[in-house]
Amino acid sequence: MLNPHRHQAGLNRRELLHIGGLSLLGLNSWELARLRALAGDSPGSPSHRHRINSCIFVFLFGGPSHIDLWDMKPEAPVEVRGEFNPIATSAPGIQLCEHLPKLARQMDKFALLRSMTHHMPVHGPACSEMYTGREYFGPPMTDQARPEDWPSISSLVTRYGKSAGRLPPSVVLPLYSQFVGQSKRIAGQTGGRMGERFNPVLIDCEPGKVDFEVQGLNLLPEVGHDRLGQRRGLLRELEAARGITADDYGPAARTYAKHWEMAYSMLHQQAFRDALDLQRIPPAMRERYGYTNFGQSLLLARQLVEAGISLVTVNFDHESKYDKRSPMWDTHHDNFAKLKNLLCPVFDRAFAAFLEDLAERGLLETTLVVATGEFGRTPKVGQFSQNAMTLKTGRDHWPLTFTVLLAGGGVPGGGVPGGHVYGATTRNGGHVADKPVTPADLSATILHHLGVDPTLQYHDQFQNVRRRLTTGTPIRNWS
């Protein structure tokens, strides 16, 4: 279901959709008092496929082991290289882990950025740095969101990006990254100090279910599109009769009006509703991605960029999130068994199908794919760096270097060439040896691809200053 967080107007976007599709069965004084904030024109044009530049940002919460998966060191001592062997890929000279065979066959479609680097070893602040492109503002004391969080790339695109019609520029699914048992999401995923009203639309869902559907996007039988349009027209007439215009309302009311219009457009644009309807997808295609929340989230992301959404963030969701010592990619114990038996099979199947599907549909021409965690893992098995829960069978946090998977974005012309390696690490995979890339550089690359000027400034409500969207430099030369 649509489940964004509240903004200044006091209503969340779930309630906006409720107003758009259900509450208009009758207009009471409560609704009129809020719907008088409406100030807009007719909804967007009839649905059709839009080909604007887009990005799918895949976040692998926990920190995948770069040295065991995509930056292997087979010549290193056993305590470094670990238990896995590298295999050849469809790109000559590039190897991947033996437990990623499907992805290895798609290596010609994506690149490995092996020189990502920062200095934050704690999950929450490290996630914040990757989600926002900014160094964390405080000490590494918490994994949970705070009001002074930097705005996420997804919220910057919500505010400054483009989309088809009046659809939201930025969508997150199937959940915000969050530790099970904690009351707050991980840092850096929303508007933060730029303002919660710029939060991306969150589609909180479990798409891995065979009968999955998003609640809130279907009108009741007795309230079709024509009738909803008549009620919307009535609201405009009521405002006109009272002589009310958008200028009569404050920022909160105007923000509410913007979200109301967006909700109305989401209800009326068939392309958007179809994109979230997995029942329309042939079972063979769904099976190709795998009936997991991660696999089906990637399938939803593919459909959403086809519908005209600019940025889709897919947060990795997996049953291992209930493992208190090593949730998801955070392999503090049984690193090799967990990668081999749980994580690699899900990722290999889904991400390989995803890349192949994007290529077959011509979407890699305009879609930049970014897959990353918040950091990598220690060069030595059992090495302690930050978390005392790390056992001899695990690898601890390691932010000094790790790998980002990149694909698409148009080649040539600034896109990422497939079958390519950018940057390099030292012999033990512990430090950057060539072409370091920071989270700021990655954020600038994403914004530049989406047509958002990285030098634009927003108002930092926490410190009351103006800040650039990012301080990084876009990667333009991938050679």
Q: What is the pLDDT of residues 33-66, one digit of tens each?
A: 333 333 233 333 333 344 789 999 999 999 999 9
Cis ω for the linkage preceding 174 (within 30 of 0): yes
pLDDT, mean of residues 341-354: 98
In the chain, where are the structural domains located? 52-213+282-468
Which three-class secondary structure state does DSSP give residue 255? Answer: helix
Q: Which CATH superfamily is domain 52-213+282-468 in?
A: Alkaline Phosphatase, subunit A (3.40.720.10)
| pLDDT tens digits, one per residue of 421-437 | 999 999 999 999 999 99
Q: With contact defined as beta carbons under 8 Å apart, do 21 and 228 qualify? A: yes
Q: Is the pLDDT of residue 319 over 80?
A: yes
Q: What was the pLDDT predicted at 243?
A: 72
- Determine which helix (DSSP H) or strand (DSSP E) holds 260, and give its type and residue range: helix 251-268
What's CA 164's distance to the chain center, in Å? 18
The type of residue at 294 is F
| pLDDT tens digits, one per residue of 272-293 | 888 899 999 999 999 999 999 9
Q: Which of 69-73, 240-244, 420-424, 433-437 has the lowest mean pLDDT?
A: 240-244
Residues with Cβ within 8 Å of 333's Cβ and at least 6 positions away in sequence, in order, are 325, 326, 389, 390, 391, 393, 394
Q: What was the pLDDT predicted at 249?
A: 62
The type of residue at 18 is H
Rounded to 5°, angle at Cα 445 from 62 and 92: 75
pLDDT bucket at 251, cuts 50 / 70 / 90: low
| pLDDT tens digits, one per residue of 151-207 | 999 999 999 998 887 789 999 999 999 999 999 999 999 999 999 999 999 999 999
Share of the chain above pLDDT 90, in %: 71
The type of residue at 454 is P
Which string of DSSP letters, residue by residue, matches 403-454? EEEEEES-TTTT-BPSSEEE-EE-TTSSSEEE--B-HHHHHHHHHHHTT--T
Q: With contact defined as beta carbons under 8 Å apart, do 334 and 393 qualify? A: yes
Radius of gyration of the chain (CA): 23
What's CA 328's distance to the chain center, in Å? 17
How many CB atoms within 10 Å of residue 138?
Answer: 12
The type of residue at 472 is G
Q: What was the pLDDT predicted at 208?
A: 94
| pLDDT tens digits, one per residue of 370-384 | 999 999 999 999 999
Rounded CA-CA distance 114/356 in Å is 22
Please give the structure tokens belonging to residue 175: 């959940």
Q: Is the pLDDT of residue 28 over 50?
A: no
Q: Is the pLDDT of residue 310 over 80?
A: yes
pLDDT, mean of residues 7-31: 36
Q: Which residues of 337-362 are buried (b: 16+ CB within 10 A; e: fewer)?
A: ebbbebbbbbbbbbbbbbbebbbeee
Residues with Cβ within 8 Å of 354's Cβ and at least 6 positions away in sequence, in order, are 289, 298, 299, 301, 302, 369
Q: Is the pLDDT of residue 23 over 60?
A: no
Q: What was the pLDDT predicted at 254?
A: 56
Q: Is the pLDDT of residue 258 over 90?
A: no
